[in-house]
Amino acid sequence: MSGTLVLVRHGQSEWNLKNLFTGWRDPDLTELGIQEANTGGQALKDYGIKYDIAFTSVLKRAQDTLKIVLDCIGQSDLETIEDQALNERDYGDLSGLNKDDARAKWGEEQVHIWRRSYDIPPPGGESLRDTGARVWPYYMMEILPRVLAGQNVLVAAHGNSLRSLVMVLDRLSKEQILALNLATGVPMVYKLKADSTVASKEVLGDMSGAH
């Protein structure tokens, strides 16, 4: 029997709160973000799985979320692999800008295209397709084999790196993945079949707060 794959998006960061494009910049979690991570961790504690390994990005908002979750489930010493393949989408020249200021500079329509198209990147940055192009090989080489070998694997990452994984796991079209927003701190639990397709998916928590 295959193991279990759990995906958690980091809690709210200071730049989420300030409406800034974050990308590969490295702000801390807000108080709400810490609370969201604790809520997700408690949901996983109640779910009752012990994990064999965890993966996260090289950005501290994801790493701190993972630490909080591991503390909640009593596995603070779990082996953890950090890799920039799981980083948030790189917003390039938009990084650090207020979203309203970006609209004033480049126009509402252009910023909307960068944010919501599948394959048009902002200047100096990545599209969602570009993000997937680094997330998918890492998943196939490093994460998936462990799950198929029966391990329970926890991944704490970012909205767009996790959307890339969900697109593959849930077999979503480009249009569907663009419309999908993952809630912060809400774990998604996947059981996989031997052929790597999804046997079941559970979302642990209230998705009404998705944004």
What's the pLDDT band for 206 if we cut at 50, 70, 90? Answer: low
List, in sequence order, the alpha helices (H) in 4-79.
14-17, 31-47, 60-72
Q: Is 10 a catalytic residue?
A: yes
Provide the pLDDT for residue 114.
93
Q: Average model confidence (pLDDT) for the chain?
A: 94
Q: Which of 10, 36, 126, 158 is catalytic?
A: 10
Strand order in the sheet with 53-56: 80-82, 53-56, 153-157, 4-9, 188-192, 198-203
What domains can be seen in the chain, in order of their start residue?
A: 4-206 (3.40.50.1240)
Mean pLDDT along residues 177-191: 94
pTM (whole model) above 0.75: yes
pLDDT of residue 68: 98
**What's the CA gap between 197 and 182, in Å, rounded?**
20
Distance CA 134, CA 137 (A): 6
Q: What is the pLDDT of residue 2?
A: 83
- As beta bridge partners, residue 155 has 7, 55
Amino acid residing at 59? L
Confidence of residue 116 (pLDDT cuts 50, 70, 90): confident
Catalytic residue among 36, 88, 126, 158: 88
Residue 40 CB contacts under 8 Å (≥ 6 apart), including other chains: 8, 11, 65, 69, 185, 186, 187, 204, 205
Q: What are phi and psi of 187, to 5 degrees?
A: -70, 140
Q: Establish whether 126 is a catalytic residue.
A: no
